[in-house]
Amino acid sequence: KPGEQKHPKEPSSLQCMHLAVVACGDRLEETLIMLKSAVLFSNRRLCFHIFAEDSLKPEFEKKLKEWPSSYTKKFESNIYPITFSVGNAQEWKKLFKPCAAQRLFLPVILKNVDSLLYVDTDVLFLRPIDDIWHLLREFNSTQLAAMAPEHEIPKIGWYSRFARHPYYGTTGVNSGVMLMNLTRIRSTQFKNSLIPGGLTWEEMLYPLYQKYKNYITWGDQDLLNIIFYFNPECLYVFPCQWNYRPDHCMYGSNCRGAEEEGVSILHGNRGVYHDDKQPTFKALYEVIRDFPFEDNLFQSLYYPLQSKFLDTVHTLCGRIPQVFLKQIEKTMKKVYENRVIVYLGANHRY
């Protein structure tokens, strides 16, 4: 229209929200359910970066192609082999869980990606990725990554009680959901306990691992805690509802953000999607897994979830179902309204 300002078109990589995951061993299904939860609710286009063992690559390609076209057009996917640019690959592979250390190398491997959300395979999105992606805009000039605290209460936190190495803040941070400005990470000189000057991210990783390898329990997460202990100004800490784990409800409810806003990202660590220790987590996983893509969200996702939750009210996490349901209900209403508006708009005749 005349007088309207024209905005330059973003390059496609910027229009994309980049999501990275590392899958090894028996994590194929879990990873696919995580990606499904991302696609179900996201608004903007997604670029998946899947780092997988060679044996899993054809499976990923096959399964993603089976999704209906109304969803496959919302994302593009790239599958990469597991690689480590410095140090001994076998040592990195043995660090904590197979391949977990791969996430440390994302800034080095994905050289053309500006920003990225990394998640563990056992994560489920209960609201659009767009909402956590917007937190990148809240970084100040020195912040280059964002994570949630490992625990809310120091006296029951793991790091505050057992860690034998430096860690961030009073309870450490959990690396299962990590938002990263890769451009900043690549161009920063990091303070460290190795030399008096700064080191780049890539220069620092292997010597840091060598120095602390006898003291670390949680592998790459511990290394990230050590890095941000020496560089606290580089970390943006987001609240616990963006990385909600069994620890937040099994010792009584201790994530205030989730009580107020609902869980935004669920992190089923400790294998809770696959055993009966935390039936609330398992219920969410199974309902998203079994949801037929083209079905009505309320009918085939929300209502089955509510009825499954009724069976978990006797458990510590099940006593607070609203914490798990609040955000997902809000998100589904938005998705539903958007679809109805689009549908009515397309079919309206003047």
Q: What value does the mean pLDDT take over residues 340-348? A: 63
Which residue type sits at 262?
Answer: G
CB burial of 27-38 (b: ≥16 within 10 Å; e: otherwise) equals: bbbbbbbbbbbb
Domains and CATH numbers, the chain: 17-238 (3.90.550.10), 241-345 (no CATH)
Averaged pLDDT score across all residues of the chain: 90
Whole-number pLDDT of residue 264: 98
Spatial CA neighbour of 32 closest among 53, 48, 10, 14: 48
Place 93 in a pLDDT band, splitting at 50, 70 and 90: confident
Cα dist from 190 to 142, 204, 323, whole Å: 11, 8, 38
Ramachandran quadrant class, 120 (left: phi over 0; alpha: psi -120 to 50; beta: rest): beta
Judge residue 337's burial from the number of C-beta atoms within 10 Å of its C-beta, 0-12 exposed, 13-18 middle, 19 or more buried: exposed
Whole-model pTM? 0.92
Q: What is the pLDDT of residues 228-277, one digit of tens each?
A: 999 999 999 999 999 999 999 998 899 999 999 999 999 999 899 999 99
